[in-house]
Each structure stands twice: as C-alpha cells, then as structure tokens.
Amino acid sequence: MNNFWQNLKSSFARWMAGRYGTDDLGIFTLLAGLILSLISSFTVSPLLSFLGLALYVITIFRMFSRNREARIRENQKYLSLTGTWSTKIRQFFRRMKNRREYKYFRCPGCHQLLRLKRGCGEKEITCAKCGHQFKQKA
Ligand SMILES: [Zn+2]
C-alpha cells in the first residue's frame, strides 16, 4: 500500500515536471472562482456559475502550462496591479498580531510605518527612509 502511494507521488511529480504550478495569480483566480461558485449557488445565476467555472479553467490551465515565461509575465502584471494592496493587508494583519509586543506609529516626515518594542521608554528615532529625527514613547 505504501509502495502504491510512493508510485503515485513519483508519477505525479514526473507529470508535473516542467509545468508552471501555482503563484499569487493562480491563488487569486482559484479563490475568486470559489467565491463566485458559492454566490451563484445562492442566487441561481447562470452567468455567475459560468464565470466561476471559467476561473477554475483558467487556474487549471495556468497550473499545468509549460509556457513558464508567459505565466510569469501574467503573474508580474497581476502583482504590479495589486502589490500595494496585498502588502497593506499583510502589514495590517502583522500589526494586529504583534500589537501587544510593539507600538506602531508613522514617521512625521514621510509617513513610513515604524515600530518600537513596548516598554522601552522614550527613544530618539531616526527614520531609515527619510532621515527625519523625532522622539517617540513606547
Ligand atoms: Zn521618514
């Protein structure tokens, strides 16, 4: 039985060799397809279920594609369109997770997000981005 799973795993790995796999755009199209499918199951809208299915097909096509250069270009275009938003969302969740340990604040000069360990008292801060100096309590 163990041999069967090892054979299956190695034959899948052989089949996937040279294929593109997943990236940020692939995860986005998969999640968007899933959300559209869920919504269409409540609204019985043929257009939404078709769009959901189309997104699944795009996801699968991109995952198994052998044209890596084209897929990388598509993903870079997607990241350049959404990069700042996904960074902001990631930073927000990191801030929420670490808010007991660090005090987060913005540089008065350039609004760069900075942090100080809580309980370290008042510190003289030099912003690494713009060089602005100011005092901050934490
Ligand atoms: Zn600054």
Q: What is the pLDDT along the chain (138 residues), one digit of tens a residue?
A: 678 999 999 998 888 888 888 888 899 999 999 999 889 888 877 888 899 999 999 999 999 999 999 999 999 998 888 877 777 888 889 999 999 999 999 999 999 989 999 999 999 999 999 999 999 998
pTM summary value: 0.56
- Buried b / exposed e along 108-136 (16+ C-beta atoms within 10 A): eeeeeebbbeeeeeeeebebeeeeeeeeb
Give 113 Cα–ligand 1 centroid separation in angstroms.
8
Give 101 Cα–ligand 1 centroid separation in angstroms.
22
pLDDT of residue 127: 94
> DSSP 3-state helix, strand, coil percentages of the chain (rounded to 5)?
60, 15, 25
| CA-based max dimension of the chain | 66
Joined together, the tokens standing for residue 38 give 């869920």
Whole-number Å distance between alpha carbons of 14 and 21: 13
Which residues make beta-bridge pairs with 136? Answer: 123
Cα of first residue to Cα of last residue in the chain, in angstroms, is 59
Give 78 Cα–ligand 1 centroid separation in angstroms.
29
pLDDT of residue 7: 92
pLDDT of residue 90: 83
Return all residues near 24 (Cβ < 8 A) that are at least 6 apart.
Answer: 75, 78, 79, 86
pLDDT of residue 104: 93
Nearest to 25 by CA among 94, 69, 67, 83: 83
Give 124 Cα–ligand 1 centroid separation in angstroms.
13
Whole-number Å distance between alpha carbons of 99 and 32: 31
Give 107 Cα–ligand 1 centroid separation in angstroms.
5
Give 106 Cα–ligand 1 centroid separation in angstroms.
8
Give 13 Cα–ligand 1 centroid separation in angstroms.
48
Give 111 Cα–ligand 1 centroid separation in angstroms.
6
Is 82:97 a contact under the CB 8 Å cutoff? no
